[in-house]
Amino acid sequence: MLVNVWVSGDSLNLVRDVTSWLSCCLSKLEVLTLRADEFQVSQEKGIVHELPQLTNLKEFVLIAFASKDDSLIGFTSLIRASPNLEKFVLKLESWWNDMVRGDRKLKKAASFPLQHLKVVELLGYYGRRSELELVEYFLENAIVLEKLIIDPRDPHNVTWPKTRKERKQEMKEEKLARNCAKQQLEGLIPSHIEFSIL
């Protein structure tokens, strides 16, 4: 009867291990939170590719470490594995000094209609091309998308105690990230989608 699972680990075989342990209830699972320290985001290999079909999943929370401007397009395979998904939350943990805003060419994920996805939240948004690619993917594929929430705060750093200097620097980075999100996204979001930058 298990319907809500929170999994954390740093094994590259994390998804394979978890799906074997939970094989009896995967079809009933409604909420899954997956946190992996060593996330491989390639569409062809890594733990993202190993995820089975989660036919009853309504909410998927993915917590992953973002480095430099590594593409996040591989995460779309997680969404494709969840055909009835209504809410997707991506929490990007990172270090401000490891972030890079480049001007590389935008990558595209394979088109796949997301028939039920209504809410997308991206936490840790910094304004990298990798994040913009992901937003564009949702805008192009989420047929019934109602709400897009962008939060530039790093979920990894929110609860850590900080010196005044560290907090000042963090607030400066967050403001810059908010401005980037506004510049990048305001013209892209159709008027019927509720769009907010926190």
DSSP annotation string for 5-72: EEEEE--TTHHHHHHHHTTTTTTT--EEEEEETT----SSSSTTTT----TT--EEEEEEE--BT---
pLDDT value, residue 192 = 94
Residue bearing tokens 């935008």: 106
- pLDDT over threshold 80, residue 25: no
Distance CA 189, CA 197 (A): 12
Q: Is 162 exposed, middle or buried (0-12, 13-18, 19+ CB in 10 A)?
A: exposed
With beta carbons less than 8 A apart as the criterion, state whether 42 and 15 touch: no
| pLDDT of res. 78 | 74
Sign of the dihedral defined by the CA atoms of residues 189, 141, 57, 25, in that order = negative
Query: What distances in angstroms separate CA 51 from CA 27, 88, 196, one per listed residue?
Result: 13, 16, 30
pLDDT digits (tens, 9 = 90+) for 67-117: 666 667 777 877 888 889 999 998 887 655 555 556 657 667 678 889 999
Are 124 and 152 in contact by the 8 Å Cβ rule? The answer is yes
pLDDT over 70 (residue 175): yes
Residue 152 has pLDDT above 70, yes or no: yes
**In contact, 12 and 39? CB cutoff 8 Å:** no
Give the percent of the chain with pLDDT over 90.
25
Confidence (pLDDT) at 148: 96
Distance CA 101, CA 115 (A): 32
* pTM (two decimals): 0.80
Regarding predicted confidence, which is higher, 44 or 2? 2
